[in-house]
Amino acid sequence: MNNQETILQDQLRRQSEPFDALWACRTRISDGTHLAPLRTHALRVLRVVSSLSGGGVSPAWDGVYHNLHQALSLQSVGLYTDVFNESMMCSSARDYDNAVSDVKERFVAGQLVFQGAWNAFEIAGEALFLRGKKPTSQAVRHKLERFGHQPIFGLNEAMFEAHSRACTYINTQEKPFKEAIAAGSYLGISAELLRQFRNDILHGKIQSLEPRDWEASDDKTCHTQTELFHAQIRLVLFLLQAIIARVEANHEVWFNEGDLVEELIFSVQKEIPEDAVDHTEEETDMPGLFMDQKFIHYV
């Protein structure tokens, strides 16, 4: 590999880092226990949606699949913020601009994936209503608040993580948020939290972070920026799972030996340790996505 190819490969690697970091994020549940990496979680949800697309009760799943698949297809992003080339003569200024560019790349990567996931959620919300109705996110929230379901592993932790990361942007005194709290529904609170976050993103009120210790090799600003979006995207996936369970519980999933949606959808977020899988049973054709979840020994 010549020098030019090496430079190109290094550039491609750096441009993929924002998405690689985002997809690798995990939500901590307790010491030694985490949810699956974000990409694994999203791919599992996408697989279920692909089974519903064209064959489910609602026609909304095609749009859900398109938006979530597009978000998962994102691979690289490149920004350089010194658009006026003012740092060319100063190495310190150049280092600062590089640090700003790195953080903004994390922001843009997270923003793009979040928007795709949110679009999927908004379309999925239509499945909760009669065909032809375009519900508001508030109407979807009310439906979710009344959804009686089995406990969703990790939802509690994911909701509090999303709020702690985005609390400076969330107004808990708004009437819809108070209504969600009063309803006592984690799904309802999550939907309202995400609605506010999405609106602030859409209207430019949430901006990329400023590098704090950009001269230090262990600056955490990029990580903090990525975690902000990871937490919100994770929560959107939980809402998608809840809607799928509500509408398509009895749909047979074609790629998992005809298991029903309700037998899979509440556990796709789990990180499955190797010693928790019963290898005496026949394994699925899709390792890493659905590792015989019906044979997992739940604690």
pLDDT band at residue 96 under the 50/70/90 scheme: confident
- Other beta carbons within 10 angstroms of residue 173's beta carbon come to 7
Residue 5 counted as domain residue: no
pLDDT band at residue 4 under the 50/70/90 scheme: confident
* Whether residue 288 has pLDDT greater than 60: no
Region 152-175: what's the mean pLDDT?
95
Our measurement of the distance from residue 243's CA atom to the centroid of its chain's CA atoms, rounded to an integer in Å, reads: 15
pLDDT: which is higher, 186 or 293: 186
Residue 17 counted as domain residue: no
> Based on the structure, what is the number of domains in the chain?
1
Exposed/middle/buried for residue 253 (C-beta within 10 Å: 0-12, 13-18, 19+): buried
* Whether residue 277 has pLDDT greater than 70: no
Using CA atoms, how far apart are residues 103 and 91, in angstroms rounded to an integer? 19
Would you state the pLDDT for residue 292?
Answer: 40
Residue 29 counted as domain residue: no
Rg (CA), the chain: 21
CA–CA distance from 268 to each of 43, 81, 169, 234 (Å)?
9, 39, 29, 12
The whole-model pTM stands at 0.88
DSSP letters for 143-182: HHHT------TTHHHHHHHHHHHHGGG--TTSHHHHHHHH
pLDDT band at residue 217 under the 50/70/90 scheme: low
Using CA atoms, how far apart are residues 33 and 36, in angstroms rounded to an integer? 10
Would you state the pLDDT for residue 201?
Answer: 97
Residue 33 counted as domain residue: no
Using CA atoms, how far apart are residues 71 and 114, in angstroms rounded to an integer? 8
State which amino acid sits at residue 142. Answer: H
User: What SS3 class is residue 125?
Assistant: helix
State which amino acid sits at residue 277. Answer: V
- Tokens 């019906």 belong to 294
User: What SS3 class is residue 30?
Assistant: strand
Sequence-ordered strand ranges (E) for the chain:
28-30, 33-34
Our measurement of the distance from residue 23's CA atom to the centroid of its chain's CA atoms, rounded to an integer in Å, reads: 8
Residue 24 counted as domain residue: no
Measure the N-to-C terminal CA separation of the chain; round to a whole number of Å.
51
CA-based max dimension of the chain: 66
- 103 in Cβ contact with 222 (< 8 Å): yes
Region 118-137: what's the mean pLDDT?
90
Residue 25 counted as domain residue: no
Virtual CA dihedral for 121, 122, 126, 127, nearest 10 degrees? 0
Residue 13 counted as domain residue: no
Range of the domain at 195: 44-77+106-295
Exposed/middle/buried for residue 186 (C-beta within 10 Å: 0-12, 13-18, 19+): buried
Would you state the pLDDT for residue 287?
Answer: 42
pLDDT band at residue 296 under the 50/70/90 scheme: very low
Residue 282 counted as domain residue: yes
